[in-house]
Chain A
Amino acid sequence: MTAPTTEGRHDAGMPTAAMTSPGLRAEVEDHYISYALTMDDKRPNDWVALFLGTGLYAVGTHNNVSTTGMWWYTDRGPGALKERAAYTNGYLRHNPTRTLHTITNVRARETEDGRIKAEAYVVLYVTDRVELSRFHVCGRYDDLLARTDDGLRFVEHRVVLDAETLPGNMGVLL
């Protein structure tokens, strides 16, 4: 591996916040609010439903993504997405942990093929049985969205975390 570089940054071509139209930002923010609630309310089937059937969900750290392209996992399609939802909603052996996802700093633009390129920040807090509620991880979303009759859906939902070292329990959705 080589040292991190700025090559492959995921914000290329994104508008600044001031350039994102208020209507588009509200539309995308509503989608993210719904998305956060599926995770924090433990509704895994609804989480899966916010992806297109061919949707992609990938999570990695900034250092790896910007150098080697290493995503810890890349889930493609309904089988992988359902499996991820299951693992993070009771199948893994972690004690129950409540989560609170805060999604902010939304930027978005429409692409030439009618989709939406969106970017946002995410901060995850967790609360377990005995410790105080605490910050867990943070990062950014680098997403491609499609409009459907049921609202926006993820074509690609990529999460790049700002972390070199991770907590012991990353069995969470982001």
Chain B
Amino acid sequence: MKSSPDLRTDLATGVVDREIYTSEKIFALEQERIFTRTWHYACTTRDLKKPGDYFTVSIAEQPVLVIRGNDGEIRAFHNACTHRGAILTGERCGNQGQTLKCMYHAWAFNLKGDLTGVPHEEGYGPGFDRRAYGLRPVHCDTFHDLVFVAIRPTVPSLTDFLGEMADHLAPYVQGIEPIGRNSWIYQGNWKFWHENFRDDYHAEFTHRSIRDLLVGTTARGWNWGAAPGHSVLQWAFPPLDPPKYARALQRFSGVDFSDGTMPVGWSSMLAQGPPGPPEGFEGGPDGGFGGGFEGGGPPEIRQEVLALFPNLDIQPGPKDTPRGMKAGFLQTVTPLGVDRTRVDITVYSDIEDDAAARQEALENLADTQGSWGKLSCDDTEAATRCQIGVRGEGGPYSLFTRGVAPGRGGEDADVRDEYSQREFFRVYQQYLQDES
């Protein structure tokens, strides 16, 4: 067992030792103590509609395969033949039929992971017991439409792991279906991306479009830490100012908007009408978005971003639009190295949507996200720049100390607070220092 790192700060205070972004030793500990011990989103249940449908993921650099059996059960296994270790499939997803057969020596497994076929089996002698060579299972559970897997969970159930997020997440992830998927790689530590989904301090500065397209800023909102390690960002968009946006686009790029052509904005939102607070919207029964968190919610919340420890981000559509909660995207960050990370995005829609509605959802949701997106492209640049900067001796610590009120957010807090980042680092540190 590796020893715990000698962190120079208590990360839970929000003063974060930058070594966590650059140390190979800490990266290895993260894989061992965080990524193998936590639940990870793998796919949705509708990625696995039929027996034999499978989806593959990598957790802590371990290949994992999730598959639906003939009995309807979803199971997860290490994606490695028990004979010589070859992965049973190198595809991201597909259907295996009734058998998982290794391409190397044709050992075959049924959908429950039992070893069912060994060519020339007699050569192993009379003592050979197939039961000892079934696929190694991986913990697997579902939360409504989401499938999670864990190599060695430290909590007994997925519900316990989700903690305060369970009730809040539930309405968003029922009756959804993936409609598009993409991936990209950036040169930076995995935490930079995940932190960003808990950060509403950067938005008005990193994203020129947020500053230019909106009247004012997205300052009206909240940043919540949700134990253990999760977060919710909420905000209300102010009205839009397309002429100001067009002038800014022209100023930075030289593209001529002087003929009165108006840009379309994110996700063609300008073409769909201004998204001001919905008339008559008064919030949920508690005056906000629902229970489970300190304080109340603003009365006109339109947008939320949820982040699950350690590496899942969920951004549903605005609650009060016709599609509302039933379209959005899920993003997972997978560490490839201390300074190299893959992001996988899944765009989903309501299972009731017809083809036209799905196409519209795809175009609208993909427009801002990804390494091509009108918003996420900026975030990728920020992560890359942070990675370059923290390598040097420009400062030993990064600050996540905004929001001086005690607790995890509340009515005195604002959207730029960093409660959720501190909640992440509180739990991150616990895992990292757990030598059990």
- A and B from one complex: yes
Interface residues of A (CB under 8 A from B): 1-3, 44-45, 48, 59, 61, 63-64, 68-75, 77-80, 82-83, 85-87, 89-95, 164-171
Are B249 and A1 within 8 A (Cβ)?
no
Residues of A within 8 A of B367 (CB): 72-73
Does B106 interact with chain A (Cβ within 8 Å)?
Answer: no
Residues of A within 8 A of B184 (CB): 165-168, 170
Contacts A86-B252, A86-B255, A94-B381 hold; do A70 and B371 have CB atoms under 8 A apart? no
Cα-based distance from A45 to B254 in the complex (angstroms): 8
- B247 CB to nearest A CB, Å: 11
Cα-based distance from A25 to B270 in the complex (angstroms): 39
Q: Which listed residue (A75, A83, A169) contacts B380, Cβ 8 A?
A: A169
Does B47 interact with chain A (Cβ within 8 Å)?
Answer: yes
**Nearest 9 pairs of A and B residues by beta carbon:** A70-B180, A168-B186, A170-B372, A86-B253, A83-B263, A86-B249, A3-B94, A166-B184, A86-B255
Q: What are 22 A-B interface contacts by the 8 Å CB criterion?
A: A2-B93, A2-B94, A3-B91, A44-B254, A48-B255, A64-B182, A79-B262, A83-B264, A85-B253, A86-B249, A90-B254, A91-B252, A92-B378, A164-B183, A165-B183, A167-B184, A167-B185, A168-B184, A168-B185, A168-B186, A168-B380, A170-B370
Stretch in contact with the other chain, from B30-38, B358-366, B419-427: B358-366
Residue of A nearest to B270 (CB): A79
Are A44 and B378 within 8 A (Cβ)?
no
Contacts A83-B263, A85-B253 hold; do A93 and B366 have CB atoms under 8 A apart? no
Residues of A within 8 A of B381 (CB): 92-95, 169
Residues of A within 8 A of B24 (CB): none
Q: Fill in one digit per residue for B195-232: 1 if any A CB lies within 8 Å of its CB, else 0.
A: 00000000000111100000000000000000000000
Contacts A79-B261, A166-B371, A166-B372 hold; do A85 and B255 have CB atoms under 8 A apart? yes
Are A93 and B378 within 8 A (Cβ)?
yes
Are A168 and B187 within 8 A (Cβ)?
yes
Cα-based distance from A70 to B347 in the complex (angstroms): 9
For the residues of B in contact with A, the DSSP-based class is: mixed
- B63 CB to nearest A CB, Å: 16
- A134 CB to nearest B CB, Å: 13
Are B253 and A3 within 8 A (Cβ)?
no
Are B263 and A166 within 8 A (Cβ)?
no
Residue of B nearest to A61 (CB): B182
Residues of B within 8 A of A64 (CB): 180-182
Residues of B within 8 A of A2 (CB): 93-94
Are B362 and A71 within 8 A (Cβ)?
yes
Cα-based distance from A90 to B270 in the complex (angstroms): 22
Are A171 and B256 within 8 A (Cβ)?
no
Residue of B nearest to A78 (CB): B261
Contacts A61-B182, A94-B377 hold; do A80 and B268 have CB atoms under 8 A apart? yes
Residues of B within 8 A of A171 (CB): 371-372, 377
Q: Which listed residue (A83, A93, A165) contacts B185, Cβ 8 A?
A: A165
Q: Which listed residue (A69, A72, A89) contacts B182, Cβ 8 A?
A: A72
Residues of A within 8 A of B402 (CB): none
Cα-based distance from A73 to B364 in the complex (angstroms): 8
Residue of A nearest to B373 (CB): A72
Residues of A within 8 A of B255 (CB): 44-45, 48, 82, 85-86, 89
Cα-based distance from A69 to B342 in the complex (angstroms): 23
- Which one of A75, A82, A86, A90 has the highest number of Cβ atoms from chain B below 10 Å of its Cβ? A86
